[in-house]
Amino acid sequence: MNAHLIISAFVLGLSMSGVYFLLTVGLSLCYGLMRIISLDQFLYYSVGAYMTYTIVAVTGNFWLGLLAGILTTILIALFVEKIVYKRIYEKSVMFSMILSFGVNLMGVGLIKYIWGLEPKPVKAPIGGNLNIFGTEVPGYRIFVILLAALVYLAVCYFLNKTILGTAIRAGIDDAEKVEALGINIYKLFTLTFLLATSLSALAGAIHTPMVMVVPDMGMNIIAFAFMVVIIGGLGSIKGTLISSLLVGQVVSFGSLIWAPLADMAPFMIMIIILLIKPTGLYGSKYMKR
Amino acid sequence: MKRLFNNNLSKILIIFTILYLLKYVLPQSFMLEVIILSIYTMGCSFLIGRVGFVSFGQPAYLAIGAYGTAFYLYYFGTNPFVAILVGILLGLIINIITGAFFIRLNSSYYTLCNQAFCVVNFFIFQKALVKYTHGDNGLWFLSRIDPTPVIDLSRTEGVFIFAFLVAVGVWLLFNYLMNHSVFGATCLCVKCNEEKLRFLGYNVFNIKWLAFIIANTITSLAGALYSLYFGFVSAGITAPSKAIEPVAISMLGGAGTLFGPLVGSFIFIGLKDIASQVISYWELLVGLMLIIVMLAGEKGIVGSLEGFLSKLINKHGNNEGLQATNIEGEVGSE
């Protein structure tokens, strides 16, 4: 194994981490505040990807596609939140899991109905290669890494420095007290859900040039997203970041060593971590029984 | 009539007689699929309704049983009874190991972990063990199944009768577990209030572990029956996109009820057969059905019907047998 291979695998791993982080931070936030596990984030991921594909095919502009993907999913999410989630915020986590999986499944069926089954390619908006220590690395991957880092910083800023973010963090700690202060917690719920959704759509949109756009793309990434969420611990942004970095590298280097290892190694790591800490690395204290 | 209705044993007898008679009205392959699918769902339904574990990874346990049977028939022997036994044993061993890991997690982590386990299983059967499982092409062994005396498992009628008998056995077992044993009561207590159970001095870990092993070994048994019926197993059996099906069927029929899985499977396969002629994307309907069932209330068809029927029947005369139905009603509304 030479240095070129290691550097390119490292960069690939980092860019995958970026996608995983964008996808799972929404799941984590939703769990933290609303105590729901919103599996329909994977639908928004696919919709973001498909909208990007469609707009790129029509206008040729990737950034327009990215924006359209995010806006479309926000509209869908508003609808889903109003129809489905409003009714189940009070109920147990299990309820939201089954229901949101149903939403996800229905969405996959609709996507198959609208766009058909065949894989769709999307060209990367940033061509060219970057030279890192003598290794040529696709510039788009660097862009994905930078974007994910930027989103992490932005989310941290939003949660820690703004009034709304502070209210959300307070809601994560004690939702009843926040309501007692006169803040409409359901508005916070909607806001958090939309934030999570737009991040998922962003993940789908920026993932398109790296994979084929297929109806089952949400289902294909579901296992990795779950592993990231479980390793990091539900409800923790920092944990999600660290575990997505870990899983990205493990997948990338695993596939370098032996192809099936790419899928199995993260699972092994997850099992080991759960053996040591059943709530994941940074699991919230409410997860403990 | 009242006594007949309130007695679970006679209910099992009646319902399975109807099921057997339906064979003469509906196609046999349809009935066979319903029976195997309901055995498959039974484990999942028990875990959801009685223990409080929702698993999106049931196909993994199904596939383990199916591949156990398939490996035996493809590589080693020709006796289908031994093959089923091998499938169950393989399922049992793997369930004991994975159970010890997964049981420690609380419910939401359990669900996600199971789905991850299912996906990993899919990759193992599709890619890592491709030399032995032939990946998506699958193992074909229908011609290798030997004719057996009494119940000829090499023919579909034999498989039907065998699956039917197995289903009766499974239902009797779960009837005992759910309604007549301390173990079933403690399982329900795990779902409702685990702390109290621990306070009473029970070993919660062992109860959950045993429930996990029983339910998922039944799932493996269904897998073994599947592979015997089709004479073919491919990696598609553990496809993660199918993982929601048992959960959807349990919810449709009523999770934790005795006959929920049967009614759910019957409606599910019927819908599937009708719908597949009209609409080619099956996910759409499953998703829609799941949303409607969950929003309409989590009791499911049998859960709602049971409360209604028992009210109707117990209206006249004394309150004999009311207690039993009361317990069921509480479970349904849990």
Our count of domains for chain B comes to 1
Q: What ipTM does the predicted assembly reach?
A: 0.80
The per-residue pLDDT for range B127-176, each reduced to its tens digit, is 888 888 887 888 888 777 777 777 777 788 888 888 888 998 998 888 88
CA distance B145 to B137: 19
- Asked whether the beta carbons of residue A226 and residue B115 sit closer than 8 angstroms, the reply is yes
Count the Cβ atoms, other than its own, within 10 Å of residue B18. Answer: 9
The per-residue pLDDT for range B90-120, each reduced to its tens digit, is 999 999 998 888 888 777 788 888 888 888 8
Instruction: Identify which of A31, A98, A234 has the shortest CB distance to residue B247.
Output: A98
CA distance B90 to B217: 9
The helix or strand, by DSSP H or E, that contains position B233, with its residue range, turns out to be strand B232-233
Which pLDDT value is given to residue B220? 93
Which pLDDT value is given to residue B329? 42
Token readout for B168 is 């009766």
Which pLDDT value is given to residue B334? 36
Domain boundaries, chain A: 3-287
Correct CATH for A3-287 of 2.40.50, 1.10.443, 1.10.3470, 1.10.357:
1.10.3470
The region of weakest confidence among A115-119, A257-261, B247-251 is A257-261
Q: What confidence tier does A150 reach under pLDDT thresholds 50, 70, 90?
A: very high
> Strand, helix or coil at A231?
helix
Q: What confidence tier does B6 reach under pLDDT thresholds 50, 70, 90?
A: low
Taking contacts as CB-CB distances below 8 angstroms, the residues of chain B near A226 are 112-113, 115-116
- Report the chain A residue with the minimal C-alpha distance to residue B288: A106
User: Does the structure show a pLDDT above 80 at A259?
Assistant: no
User: Does the structure show a pLDDT above 90 at A233?
Assistant: no
- Asked whether the beta carbons of residue A222 and residue B282 sit closer than 8 angstroms, the reply is no
CA distance A270 to A19: 19
Q: What confidence tier does B276 reach under pLDDT thresholds 50, 70, 90?
A: confident
> Strand, helix or coil at A213?
strand
The per-residue pLDDT for range A77-120, each reduced to its tens digit, is 888 888 888 877 777 777 888 888 888 888 888 888 888 888 88
- Asked whether the beta carbons of residue B112 and residue A289 sit closer than 8 angstroms, the reply is no
Average pLDDT of chain A is 83
- Asked whether the beta carbons of residue A223 and residue B282 sit closer than 8 angstroms, the reply is no
Query: Which residues are paired to A129 by β-bridges?
Result: A138
The per-residue pLDDT for range B88-98, each reduced to its tens digit, is 999 999 999 98
Long-range contacts of A142-150 (CB under 8 A, 24+ apart): A142/A11, A142/A15, A144/A15, A144/A18, A144/A19, A144/A206, A144/A210, A145/A11, A145/A14, A145/A15, A145/A17, A145/A18, A147/A18, A147/A202, A147/A206, A148/A17, A148/A18, A148/A19, A148/A21, A148/A22, A149/A18
Count the Cβ atoms, other than its own, within 10 Å of residue B11. Answer: 16
Taking contacts as CB-CB distances below 8 angstroms, the residues of chain B near A84 are 291, 295
Average pLDDT over residues A242-251: 89
The helix or strand, by DSSP H or E, that contains position B145, with its residue range, turns out to be none
The per-residue pLDDT for range B158-168, each reduced to its tens digit, is 888 888 889 98
Could you tell me the pTM of the whole model?
Answer: 0.83
Taking contacts as CB-CB distances below 8 angstroms, the residues of chain B near A217 are none
Which pLDDT value is given to residue A85? 81
More confident residue, B208 or A96: B208
User: Does the structure show a pLDDT above 70 at B291?
Assistant: yes
